[in-house]
Structures are given as structure tokens and as C-alpha cells.
Amino acid sequence: MYDVVISGAGPAGSKCAETLAKAGFEVALIEKDTNWRKPCGGAINARVFRYYPQLRNFDFHKINKMTIFSADYHHFGYHWKDPKNYSINVDRLEFDNLLQNFAVDAGAILLDNNISYDFIMKENRKIGVKAKTSSGIKEYKGKIIVIADGMSSKLAVKSGLKEKWKTEEVMLTKCAIMEGENNIDKDTISLFFKSYKGYGWLFPLGENRFNIGCGTMGEDNLNYNINEIFNEFLNDPNIKKFTPNTDYKKIWIGAYPLPGQGVNENSLYGENIMLIGDVAGCVNPISGEGISPGIASGKIAAETAIKALESEDISKRTLKRYKLHPTIKKISRSFKLSLSIADFCFEKQGQNFAKMCRIAENDESFRETVVNMFLFNKAPPKDFITRLRSEN
Ligand SMILES: Cc1cc2nc3c(=O)[nH]c(=O)nc-3n(C[C@H](O)[C@H](O)[C@H](O)COP(=O)(O)OP(=O)(O)OC[C@H]3O[C@@H](n4cnc5c(N)ncnc54)[C@H](O)[C@@H]3O)c2cc1C
């Protein structure tokens, strides 16, 4: 019997496992496939170093500039000068494997090639997780169960805490890692917002490598086809200025959904169970950034589990502390605001977004607010939308 069984060794699950194992608890970290590269832009802001200070010692591609484009190609740039605040762009396969190794080094048991699909039940209680493996069904019993297996989670739905994602609740995205000569500034990540609910990105990954992708959100998931949007984005003349070649080598390509509605506050915890990361909706609904918030949720869920195990009370009442944690509340609040700003920006075929870019081009403090919102999940001031509405 483990103290905690975690399904999914993405950033959220690995951080949760590492925190618990460091505190001396027995942890099973169940993972479908550690060789799977999660479809992702791989841009991670400096907040990640709060949770993993040791990452500063690794040779990731560093970023200290951002450019945001509106649908009519108004744009503004931002350069954050404090050297400690650099972001990193990562290849998700390498990054996820690294975080899994941190969890294993701390003492967690990583169970690879295990596909969790159901709970072990006893007297109406969930007492563990069943997983499919090449050698048959395996059962992992645990006092607390943490669901961290992302958007495809079967356990989250079986737990009764949440329903299957509806199409308009997610962002649908497709991206690729490509290699070849390009004109992308090596220090800059670029976001390209559209006249529909969606955006594209260009993230440098090294001398000749880059991550390119795009996605749609909300009702526009039903109005646009992600494969067509992706091809259009690759061939857009404005994008071709950055990637002029016709024969980029595709290192990898993938499509995947991500949560688009912010934190699912009503489905974060239940009787001896917690949901973290993407399963819990921990993704900024305007920027799609979910790695740092997912890691934060994993750490806080682990700390909640530690208190519950130490007090021998793993009930729903005790696990509620996870939802009430100031950081979870802050993330949740900031994502609610981002969602309403996203809705506003995409009104009038993206004209409000263009207005935001125009103001940011000329007003340094407004520019900082916008960048903080996109990059650091910081809530903008209350009069942000009022100002946008009042500007011509
Ligand atoms: C195209 C795209 C681009 C993105 N770009 C960015 C970005 O640039 N920056 C950013 O911060 N965020 C980005 N995100 C969001 C980010 O990828 C997620 O928010 C983040 O990965 C969430 O981490 P997680 O640990 O919750 O879930 P995941 O990273 O999805 O990890 C879930 C883990 O569970 C495993 N798993 C799944 N099912 C099972 C099962 N049945 N049994 C066992 N294991 C299972 C998976 O193999 C995986 O390892 C992007 C998302 C997409 C789709």
C-alpha cells in the first residue's frame, strides 16, 4: 500500500510525487509512456525556478523578449532586463523526463508503460488505481489518489468529479518542432493573435530549431479546422518572413487539446482524491500557459496530502485545503479575469486586441501590464477593460 498513488508523470504529477517523496512518503507515479513527447510550445516563464531552482543549472534556451501581434499585425515588443527573469524554451520530452528523474531521485516509484483506467473500489471507497500493462492488469493501492494524467484522463471522469471536456471548453492546438535556417530572433517568443478566437506562436529552440504552432478556442473550435489553420499559419506571408525556407525538417509534429476555461474549482478534490494540472484546468485561458501553474498545483496538492496523512484524516473536508490555498485561489482568480479579457479581446473580429496592441505600443506601463498578464499570469488592474473600451 502506497501513501499516495499519482496517475500521470507530466510536470504536475512529477512535482507532486517529488514533494511527497522528499517528505518521506511512499509514492507510486503511474505513467502511460515516458517516451511520449507532450504536444506543447514548451515556453516556460521564470516562475518555474521557484519550484525547481536547480533548473537554472541546465542549458535550456533562454528568452528575455516577447512580441505580441494582433490580427492586423499591429505589434509591440517587451524586453525584460532583469537577468534573473529569463524564461526558457524546452523540448517537452527532455523536460518531462528531467522532472520525472527529480521525482525518482527523491524516492518516488515511477511505473512506466502503465495506463491507468479505473479505480480499485472497496465498500464504495476508492482505494487505488488499476492500470493496463504489457503483462496484464496491475493494481496500485494508495491512501490518497492524485489524478494528473492530462486532458485524456479517464480517471477524472470516473471519479465523478468532472464531466468529459466539451469541445467549446478547450483550446484545440497543433504544433511542430522544425529545423532549418530562419530569421527568428533567438531571444524572443512571438504570439500572433487572430481575428477569430485563436492564435499562433513561434518559439526559438536553439540555433536552427523552433517550435511553431497554433490553436483555436471556444466556439471557434467548431468553426475552424485545426489542420487547415496550421497549414495556413505555416504559409502565412507574415510568418514566412521569419521562416522563409520551403523545406524545414520536421523533427516532430502533434495535435492536442488544452483546457480553455480556467481552473475547475468544483472538481479539485473529493474523498481521498485530488485533481491537478490540466485535469484541473490549471491553464491560462488567454496564453495557453499551463506548465508553471500545473507544477504549482502539484506542489500544493502534495503539501495538502502530507498534512492529511500526518493527521490521519484524508477526508474531503481536509483535502479542501488544496482548493483554499492562497496560490490556487490566486491562479483561479487571475484565470477568470484572463478569460473575460480574452472574450473581450476577440470581440469584433479581434479589433479590441488590435486596440490593446496599439495602446501597448505607446504606453510603457500598459505594455508591462499586458506582458505580465500573458507571461506571468498576473491579473491586470480592474480598470483594464474600461480603459480599452474608452480608447478609440
Ligand atoms: C499544443 C500545446 C502547446 C502548449 N504550449 C505551452 C507552452 O508553451 N507553455 C506552457 O506553459 N504550457 C503550454 N501548454 C500547456 C501545457 O502543455 C500543459 O498545461 C501542461 O503540460 C500540463 O501538465 P500536466 O502535468 O497537468 O499534464 P500533461 O503534461 O498532459 O501530463 C500528463 C501525463 O499523464 C500521462 N498519462 C495520460 N494518460 C494516462 C493514463 N491513462 N495513465 C497513465 N499516464 C497517463 C501522459 O503520458 C503525461 O505524461 C501547451 C499545450 C498544448 C496542447
Average pLDDT, the chain: 94
Q: Measured from the CB, is residue 152 less than 6 Å from ligand 1? A: yes
Classify residue 103 by burial, with Cβ atoms within 10 Å: 0-12, 13-18, 19+.
buried
Residue among 31, 40, 210 to mutate when testing ligand 1 (max atoms within 8 A of CB): 40
pTM for the whole thing?
0.96
Distance (angstroms) between ligand 1 centre and the Cα of 154 equals 15
* Alpha carbon 68 to chain centroid, angstroms: 19
Domain 2-54+88-166+260-333 falls under CATH 3.50.50.60: yes
In the chain, domain spans: 2-54+88-166+260-333
CA 208–ligand 1 middle distance (angstroms): 25
The answer to whether the beta carbons of residues 153 and 8 sit under 8 Å apart is yes
Cell of 301: 496538492
DSSP assignment, residue 164? P
Q: What is the Å distance from ligand 1's center to 46 Cα?
A: 19
C-alpha cell at 304: 495538502
- Residue 61 · residue 142 · CB < 8 Å: no
Q: Is any atom of ligand 1 closer than 6 Å to the C-beta of 213?
A: yes
Confidence at residue 352, expressed as pLDDT on a 0 to 100 scale:
85
pLDDT in tens, 280-296: 999 999 889 999 999 99
350 SS3 class = helix
Positions of the chain with pLDDT lower than 50, given as ranges: none
Cα separation of 106 and 231, whole Å?
43
Ligand 1 centroid–CA 257 distance in Å is 9
Q: How many CA atoms lie within 13 A of 212 on its CB side?
A: 24
Sign of CA pseudo-dihedral 247, 248, 252, 256:
negative
Those residues with Cβ within 8 angstroms of residue 302's Cβ, 6 or more apart along the chain or in another chain: 4, 15, 16, 17, 18, 19, 20, 23, 146
φ/ψ of residue 140, rounded to 5:
-120, 110
| Ligand 1 neighbour 277 (Cβ under 6 A) | yes
Check: CB of residue 262 under 8 Å from CB of residue 285: yes
Measured CA to CA in angstroms, residue 192 lies from 30, 33, 69, 96 at distances of 37, 32, 5, 27
Burial of 109: CB neighbours in 10 Å, binned 0-12, 13-18, 19+:
middle
pLDDT the model gives residue 4: 98
Q: How far apart are the first and last CA of the chain?
A: 63
111 lines ligand 1 (CB under 6 A): no
CA of 28 to the centre of ligand 1 (A): 19
Predicted pLDDT of residue 392: 66
Rounded Cα–Cα distance for residues 369 and 381 (Å): 8
